[in-house]
Amino acid sequence: MNASGEFLASASPRTLFGLRVCDLGWNATLGLVESLIALRGNRTTIGFLDERTAFRQMIDPAYRSQLGRRVLLPGGGRAFSILAKARHEKPTPVRFSAAMFVPALLSFLEKGHRIGIAGEDTARVEALREHFARHAPWHDVAVVALDQDMPQRFDLILVDAAGLGQERRVERRLASVRTGLVVMTGAGLSTFIEGKSAPAVPQATVPSRQPSFA
């Protein structure tokens, strides 16, 4: 984890399942992530500590080590709460998911950014590109071609991966792509492809910003 990632994770230190998580509210988290993008320094990777990742890191030491190098946002869900209770863990009051966090972040970023979407399923990735291009049209949303050299820099890359194997392969292929921030969304963006309603972030929680098209 680089210096900016250390700053974000230590802004409000908290551990869940032995892993340090970013224990901040929505406003503070979105603001700090925006700062990470603006720094344009070493790459920072954000992930979500939900029931899937929590179970996996218990049996996979390599994956646990991988999570330890990411800025982790605490997730939720019934299974996660049951698992945390069984381990005498106290979940954070604010919980995140890819389906809530990604659209909230793109809306929160007032200035236009170059957003990349990467994944092995080209149909899914293109569907996500179209969705987020409509959601936040002031951003330049593009598909990251994993089998080609990408000379252009991205401010932010969203990684869509249905399983851990896909996630690891995509992350390796992104090693040479220039970007300041990577968000590992798992399969959490499926709701935008399947046409279901995504969970909404309470409007009182996240400040409303009007996009600038200048």
Whether the predicted pLDDT of 80 surpasses 80: no
SS3 assignment for the chain: CCHHHHHHHHCCEEEECCEEEECCCHHHHHHHHHHHHHHCCCCEEEEEECHHHHHHHHHCHHHHHHHHCCEEEECCCHHHHHHHHHCCCCCCCCCCCHHHHHHHHHHHCCCCCEEEEECCCHHHHHHHHHHHHHHCCCCEEEECCCCCCCCCCEEEEEECCCCHHHHHHHHHHHHHCCEEEEEECCCCCHHHHHCCCCCCCCCCCCCCCCCCCC
Higher pLDDT, 143 or 203: 143
Tens digit of each residue's pLDDT (9 = 90 or more) over 139-184: 999 999 888 777 778 999 999 998 889 999 999 999 888 898 999 9
Let me know if 4 is exposed, middle or buried by CB neighbors in 10 A (0-12, 13-18, 19+). Answer: buried
Instruction: Give me the pLDDT at residue 212, please.
Output: 34
Q: What is the mean pLDDT of residues 75-90?
A: 70
Indicate if the alpha-carbon torsion angle 23, 27, 30, 31 is positive or negative: negative
Question: What is the spatial distance between Cα 81 and Cα 148, in angstroms, rounded to a whole number?
Answer: 41
Is residue 53 a contact partner of residue 17, using CB atoms and an 8 Å limit? Answer: no
- Report residue 106 as tokens: 């793109």
Question: What is the spatial distance between Cα 147 and Cα 72, in angstroms, rounded to a whole number?
Answer: 28
Indicate if the alpha-carbon torsion angle 13, 162, 59, 174 is positive or negative: negative
Tens digit of each residue's pLDDT (9 = 90 or more) over 84-139: 776 667 766 688 999 999 999 999 998 999 999 999 999 999 999 999 999 999 99
- Report residue 16 as tokens: 């869940």
Tens digit of each residue's pLDDT (9 = 90 or more) over 24-72: 889 999 998 998 888 776 789 999 988 888 888 989 999 999 999 899 9
Q: What pTM was estimated for this model as a whole?
A: 0.84
Question: CA torsion angle for 20, 90, 46, 193 (degrees, to 10)?
Answer: 160
Let me know if 151 is exposed, middle or buried by CB neighbors in 10 A (0-12, 13-18, 19+). Answer: exposed
